[in-house]
Amino acid sequence: MNLTHFNDKGRARMVDVGDKSQTDRVAVARGYILMAEKTIETVKNGGIKKGDVLSVAQVGGIMGAKKTWDLIPMCHNILIDGADINFTVDSDRIWVEAKVRTTGKTGIEMEALTAVSVACLSIYDMCKAIDKKMIIGDIKLIRKTGGKSDFSLGE
Amino acid sequence: MNLTHFNDKGRARMVDVGDKSQTDRVAVARGYILMAEKTIETVKNGGIKKGDVLSVAQVGGIMGAKKTWDLIPMCHNILIDGADINFTVDSDRIWVEAKVRTTGKTGIEMEALTAVSVACLSIYDMCKAIDKKMIIGDIKLIRKTGGKSDFSLGE
Amino acid sequence: MNLTHFNDKGRARMVDVGDKSQTDRVAVARGYILMAEKTIETVKNGGIKKGDVLSVAQVGGIMGAKKTWDLIPMCHNILIDGADINFTVDSDRIWVEAKVRTTGKTGIEMEALTAVSVACLSIYDMCKAIDKKMIIGDIKLIRKTGGKSDFSLGE
Amino acid sequence: MNLTHFNDKGRARMVDVGDKSQTDRVAVARGYILMAEKTIETVKNGGIKKGDVLSVAQVGGIMGAKKTWDLIPMCHNILIDGADINFTVDSDRIWVEAKVRTTGKTGIEMEALTAVSVACLSIYDMCKAIDKKMIIGDIKLIRKTGGKSDFSLGE
Amino acid sequence: MNLTHFNDKGRARMVDVGDKSQTDRVAVARGYILMAEKTIETVKNGGIKKGDVLSVAQVGGIMGAKKTWDLIPMCHNILIDGADINFTVDSDRIWVEAKVRTTGKTGIEMEALTAVSVACLSIYDMCKAIDKKMIIGDIKLIRKTGGKSDFSLGE
Amino acid sequence: MNLTHFNDKGRARMVDVGDKSQTDRVAVARGYILMAEKTIETVKNGGIKKGDVLSVAQVGGIMGAKKTWDLIPMCHNILIDGADINFTVDSDRIWVEAKVRTTGKTGIEMEALTAVSVACLSIYDMCKAIDKKMIIGDIKLIRKTGGKSDFSLGE
């Protein structure tokens, strides 16, 4: 099995997608940030005010999706058609789900995964003064369509 | 309990650290990317060549640490004195540990956590053609020193 | 009336333009920076040398247009086909007009407005040592074509 | 009168501040975005939900302040100690006031002015689908302290 | 002979390519970094380990190609379809050759030249502690295809 | 001889400068872009207008110096105190000399070399429509002071 990101000398390259055609692609990724119950409470209580933790994380995650090409070394720069993030607040964690869409020659899953990661890191940043034991986890691709083959985690 | 990142109108702000003094600060963060055994094998075999997956992820993670201020909405821009990343390859996952140091008025834990996240995302990007079920997880702060209070996860 | 930039939970999203077709779009924006008469004189006199205030602002504004997607949280990244800026020096202010063109699924007015803003801020930066009372104002869209509907301010 | 941003050949330079000492500096800037009354109403009504227009603009403005060095050609990169933005919603316009602080060799007024500009542009972006005649104006420095000389607009 | 990057007032503009059609474009650029023989030896010996100088420079050069639009003032932002870099180690210099591909309205030669420049600068950075007399040179376009006219240096 | 940019596993790291003290550092770098005589003539003739090739390259080079930390993988981010670029136009080439200054724990030579490289690439971009055989060369450090040891090329 070979990794397409390496040339015949074994060095990294940006894979050539020049011969692929543009298709409508969607990817959904998900993850969570685990935190103490009282941290969750503080986030929730802040949530009734304008400008709460989750709306800052929402902006951070969407802007992060747009920077994916600049963060991930071998990632192509692509035009994002749309991006959205949804949070679900559980008793001990906040679930983050990002859906990103493009019309392009190569996929959008890295943008969705980056949006989730940056949203989680943004929450971490705002809560770290009161909770130093938070854990970001379970970041994975849920589904993608529009590429060479569709994928669904089948949860 | 209040979140210091919000002003008296409940809107986000970049916390004022102007009255704090500069100290020597170090943070260590850790996480993993879980993958199929044959993906691990492919990464390992690629590893004997120059320019392997992990050295690209190393560069991605270190450059990511330098971009933390631009990714995390309320994060301060700081000068990084040094950054290093170490990988430990297990049978079903690759552990990523980042250590970052600064001399500054505010901490460096977000830089360490961002380095781990971007390194994991970089590995994901290079392996996603052969494994769509990878999971990035357990990203957390292991220890930090030099701030108002030291922290150690005590593992 | 609803703002399309918010999802059904009231949180910000990058509007999905995936179903729109690519069209040739042009936007023109304008604004000014008001300054003391002797500041205007200094800018004008500098203007006979190479590398004057306005040519630095020209470069700043055009490079700023290219960064619009990274500055404005919910703005799409698009490919700019061309960008130009023109200055008109009055007795008490410098008018800045930017014209930007794209072939894309969504408009170019933010790029034109950002070009004007950054050009004005660049002038401000270079003149602030001699004039602290400058005012940037009247930044608005003059006309745009190529989107769902054309617009002209009808001045 | 000379502009310090130009060298003896008349070409732009980044002014040398190497011999200046670091001081605690604060700058406040203000501006507004003028809009139709029904646009103001829509912003206000959205404002009762989480993630409203103004909290996105708040994040945009603060992140914009951090990018000032990269936007304004001859601007120094500095470390921002803190940044905050306040909005005042009038019947026909939204006032934006930014306060930014640094400990550095050179001033922070460009960061405050850029925060105001980017916050206004962010509001524009989210409201432009319902109002194409908005005007961004009256962006100016209100006061600054900590530099060679203090300044106050004396309103 | 006129330079197309200047408008009728003699100020710089981003050339309007809106009327051009998208074509498949490839550019190859080359250059070298000259260094002391013992520096070459150190690079070579490091080369048997993972994460050597050249694989860091490979990543730097490819990521640099993606930033070309942000570095070169009047350069268009384009979507890169693929990028690869090859090194040839001579007794007194390392040759760097970059090949970049796009499907776009305007060329890709600046991306190839920037990739070579940034790869050379990255090598310089890692070797400068042991060699302060390195020279980066002979950076030029070798060939390009897919634009208005093809070009080959005919070496 | 060891390269300090690699850890004990042979992977790249950002060298730890945390224990070094801040000093006043200056670096000067130089290089040229070789071009056809008629290209030189066109640049010179454009030079009598405002916004000529060299003033765009001046801005590009200075802004490039500020981005060095983001371009060169293992480079530290530092605060630039001042930057200037001078051009000397010969019959067949344009010499570019950059002088950059910082107060920091680590040197400024990469910023000077990057300024020269980006200025040369900017000139290349604006002249490439009329000359495809330009060569960027002889980019080297001329002198630096303020670090562990001073250096002068002794030309």
Count of C-beta atoms within a 10 Å radius of residue D154:
6
The strand pair at D80-89 and D93-104 is best described as antiparallel
Calculate Rg over the CA atoms of chain A.
17
Residue of chain F minimizing CA distance to C44: F50
The verdict on a CB contact (< 8 Å) between B51 and E60 is: no
DSSP class of residue F12 equals B
Find the CB nearest A59 among C12, C15, C18: C12
pLDDT, tens digit, for every residue of F15-34? Answer: 999 999 999 999 999 999 99
DSSP state of C50: T
Residue of C58, C60, C63 lying closest to F51 (CB–CB): C58
For residue C9, give how far its alpha carbon lies from the nearest alpha carbon of chain E (Å): 33
Q: pLDDT of A60-95, one tens digit each?
A: 999 999 999 999 999 999 999 999 999 999 999 999
Contact A98, A109 (CB under 8 A): no
Map residue B125 onto helix, strand or coil. Answer: helix
Interface contact C14-A79, CB threshold 8 A? no
Task: Give per-residue pLDDT as tens, B10-24.
Answer: 888 999 999 999 999
F39: Cβ–Cβ under 8 A, 6 or more apart, which residues? F127, F130, F131, F134
Q: Tokens 């009329």 — which residue?
A: F130
- Residue E72 · residue F122 · CB < 8 Å: yes
Residue A4 confidence class, pLDDT cut points 50, 70, 90: confident
What is the pLDDT confidence band of residue F1, given thresholds at 50, 70 and 90? low
Cβ-contact C10, C126 below 8 angstroms: no
pLDDT category of residue C44 using cuts at 50, 70 and 90: confident
Consecutive sets of 10 residues in chain E, 155 residues long: mean pLDDT of each?
Answer: 80 92 96 96 71 89 98 96 95 97 93 98 95 97 92 84
Q: Is A74 annotated as a binding residue?
A: yes
B14 alpha-carbon distance from chain centroid: 21
Give the residues across from D93 on adjacent strands.
Answer: D34
Q: Is the distance from CB of E65 to CB of E112 less than 8 angstroms?
A: yes
Nearest to D28 by CA among D88, D103, D105, D85: D85
* Chain D partners within 8 Å of B9 (Cβ): 86
Pick the residue of D32, D48, D71, D108 with the most C CBs within 10 A to test the interface with C by mutation: D71
User: How far apart are the two ends of chain D, measured CA to CA in Å?
Assistant: 27
Answer yes or no: are the C-beta atoms of C94 and C119 closer than 8 Å. Answer: no
Interface test with F, best of D5, D9, D11, D69 (most F CBs within 10 A): D11
Q: Does F89 lie at the interface with D, CB-CB under 8 angstroms? A: no
* Partner A contacted by E103 (CB < 8 A): yes
Using a CB-CB cut-off of 8 Å, the residues of chain B touching E63 are 63
Instruction: Name the region of D78 (left: φ>0; alpha: ψ -120 to 50; beta: rest).
Output: beta
- Structure confidence at residue F49 (pLDDT): 53
The residues spanned by each domain of chain B are: 23-147
Count, residues in chain B: 155
Q: How confident is the model at residue C133, as a pLDDT?
A: 97
- Looking at residue D1, its pLDDT comes to 59
> For B103-117, how does the pLDDT look when each residue is reduced to its tens digit (9 = 90+)?
999 989 999 999 999
**Given this model, what pLDDT does residue F26 score?**
97
Amino acid at A127: C
| Residue F48, pLDDT score | 45
Catalytic pick from C24, C92, C125, C138? Answer: C125
pLDDT at D9: 83
Q: Is D126 annotated as a binding residue?
A: no
The token duo for C26 is 């042009």
Question: Which residues in chain E are closer than 8 Å to B44, comparing Cβ atoms?
Answer: none
Name the pairing type of β-strands D80-89 and E93-104.
unpaired
Question: How confident is the model at residue E51, as a pLDDT?
Answer: 54
Tell me which architecture the domain covering F28-148 has in CATH.
2-Layer Sandwich (3.30)
CA–CA–CA angle C11, D136, B72 (5° rounding): 40
Task: Classify strands B80-89 and E135-145 as parallel, antiparallel or unpaired.
Answer: unpaired
Cα C95 to Cα C86: distance, rounded to the nearest angstrom: 8
How many CB atoms neighbour CB E91 within 10 A? 7
Residues of chain D with pLDDT under 50: 48, 50
Ligand-binding annotation for B5, yes or no, is no
- Shortest distance between the Cα of E147 and any Cα of chain B, in A, equals 31
Q: Is F21 on the interface with B (CB under 8 A)?
A: no
Instruction: Say which of D10, D43, D124 has its CB closest to residue C113.
Output: D124
**Pairs of CB atoms within 8 A across D/F:** 56
DSSP state of D33: E
Question: Per-residue confidence at F154, pLDDT binned at 50, 70, 90?
Answer: confident
Cα separation of B134 and E20, whole Å?
42
Is D77 in contact with F83 (CB distance < 8 Å)?
no
Checking ipTM against 0.90, whether it exceeds it is yes
What's chain F's average pLDDT?
A: 92
Q: What is the dihedral of CA F106, F108, F111, F117, to 10 degrees?
A: -130
**C24-147: CATH number:** 3.30.70.640
Interchain contact, B11 vs D58, CB within 8 Å: yes
Query: Helix or strand or coil: residue F49?
Result: coil
Please give the pLDDT value at position E149. Answer: 85
**The pLDDT of residue E144:** 96
Counting beta carbons within 10 angstroms of the beta carbon of residue D105, is it exposed (0 to 12), middle (13 to 18) or buried (19 or more)? buried
Name every chain C residue with its beta carbon within 8 A of the beta carbon of A81.
16-18, 76, 105
pLDDT band at residue C51 using 50, 70 and 90 as cut-offs: low
Ranges of beta strands (E only) in D1-55 are 23-34
- DSSP, residue by residue, D58-110: HHHHHHHHHTHHHHSTTPPP--EEEEEEEEEE-SSEEEEEEEEEEEESS--HH
Task: Output the average pLDDT for chain B.
Answer: 92
Give yes or no for F14 touching E (CB within 8 A): no
DSSP string, B74-121: TPPP--EEEEEEEEEE-SSEEEEEEEEEEEESS--HHHHHHHHHHHHH
Closest CA to C99 of E3, E14, D120, E75: E14
Span A129-155, average pLDDT: 92
Enzyme catalytic residues of B: 125
D78 reaches F (C-beta below 8 A): yes
Closest among A108, A73, A137 to B57, alpha carbons compared: A73
Chain B residues in contact with D94 (beta carbon < 8 A): none
- The pLDDT value given to residue A49: 53
Q: Give the β-pairing of E93-104 and E23-34.
A: antiparallel
- Quote the CA–CA distance of F54 and B73 in Å, as a whole number: 37
CA nearest to F76 within chain B: B80
CATH of domain E23-152: 3.30.70.640
Asked if E84's CB is within 8 angstroms of A77's CB, the reply is no
pLDDT tens track for A93-139 = 999 999 999 999 998 999 999 999 999 999 999 999 999 999 999 99
* CB pair distance less than 8 Å for A59 and D60: yes
**Measured distance CA(B55)–CA(E59) in Å, rounded:** 9
Give dist(CA A7, CA D102) in Å, integer. Answer: 47
Share of chain E above pLDDT 70, in %: 95
The predicted pLDDT at position D155 comes to 63
- Residue E83 CA to residue A60 CA, distance in Å, equals 29
Please list every residue in chain E whose beta carbon sits closer than 8 Å to the beta carbon of residue C56.
Answer: none
Q: Which of F72, F142, F144, F145 to mutate to test the interface with E (most CBs of E within 10 A)?
A: F72
Neighbours of chain D (3+ CB pairs under 8 A): A, B, C, F
Instruction: State what percent of residues in chain F have pLDDT above 70.
Output: 95
> Do residues B118 and B106 lie in contact, with contact meaning Cβ atoms separated by under 8 Å?
no
Residue C5 clears pLDDT 90, i.e. is over it: no
Out of F12, F118, F128, name the one closest to residue E71 (CB): F118
A42 interfacial to chain D (CB closer than 8 Å):
no
Whether A52 and chain C come into contact, CB under 8 Å, resolves to no
Position B71, amino acid: L
Chain E nearest-CA residue for F150? E132
Instruction: Check pLDDT > 80 for residue C36.
Output: yes
Residue in D90, D92, D125, D138 annotated catalytic? D125
Chain B nearest-CA distance from E107, in A, is 27
Distance of alpha carbon F140 from its chain centroid, rounded? 9
Fold classification of A23-147 is Alpha-Beta Plaits (3.30.70)
Q: Which chains touch C (3 or more CB pairs under 8 A)?
A: A, D, E, F
Which residues of chain B fall short of a pLDDT of 70?
1, 46-51, 155
| Closest to D63 in 3D by CA, of A72, C71, B63, E96 | C71
Quick one: closest CA in E to A69, which residue? E66
Tokens of F120: 């040369």
Chain A residue numbers touching C77 (CB-CB < 8 A):
66, 79-80
- For residue C123, pLDDT over 80 is answered with yes
**How far is Cα E139 from Cα E143, in angstroms, rounded to an integer?**
13
CA–CA separation, A115 vs C12, rounded Å? 14
Please tell me the least confidently modeled range out of B11-20, C49-58, F34-43, F100-109: C49-58
Q: C48 pLDDT band (50/70/90 cuts)?
A: very low
As given in the structure block, the two tokens for residue D4 are 């310090």
| Helix or strand (DSSP H, E) at A139 | strand A135-145
DSSP state of C7: -
Q: Is E51 left (phi over 0), alpha (psi -120 to 50) or beta?
A: left
